[in-house]
Amino acid sequence: MGVIIVKIKVANLKDIHLEQAGVRKEQPRHAEVDALVDTGATRLCLKPSVIRTLGLEQFGAVSSRTSNGSAIRARYEAVFLELMGRREVVDVIEVPEEVPNLLGQIPLEALDFVIDPKGQQLIPNPEHGGQQMNEEYRCESNFGS
């Protein structure tokens, strides 16, 4: 399978909430960037320059396994992610500036996209008729009985 790069839009979620509450008069901080679709990555990983543009606050760290060994990565507050008309709220993990922005498994599942290896592209999940779908197989009222 080849390399798949997509254009994503990300915005500071806190800014959006403050604007909706009438507290913030400026537009929410946002960016449109290229991201490598990486099923080997778990989350949305952004470069420090993008994180600074968005004005995100760090709220912890995560241990990461990388192709170069283990690393501790900074974890940042959630962003509003948009890709091909679909939207989701996701946390951000910082990667070094020389690493591409990475669109990992969790945002791909939340946005309900799959990789088309033959066409070497990201597509809406064909099992869901082109609609973004959330799966909840353990949400029945008889759970645990």
pLDDT beyond 70 at 1:
no
> Six-digit token pair at 111?
């946005």
CB atoms within 10 A of CB 95: 22
Domains defined along the chain, listed by start:
5-128 (2.40.70.10)
pLDDT beyond 80 at 139:
no
- pLDDT, tens digit (0-9, with 9 covering 90-100), for 47-104: 999 999 999 999 999 988 887 778 899 999 999 999 999 999 999 999 999 999 999 9
> Six-digit token pair at 38?
């990486």
DSSP character string of 94-122: E--TTSPPEE-HHHHHHHTEEEETTTTEE
pLDDT band at 133 (very low <50, low <70, confident <90, very high): confident
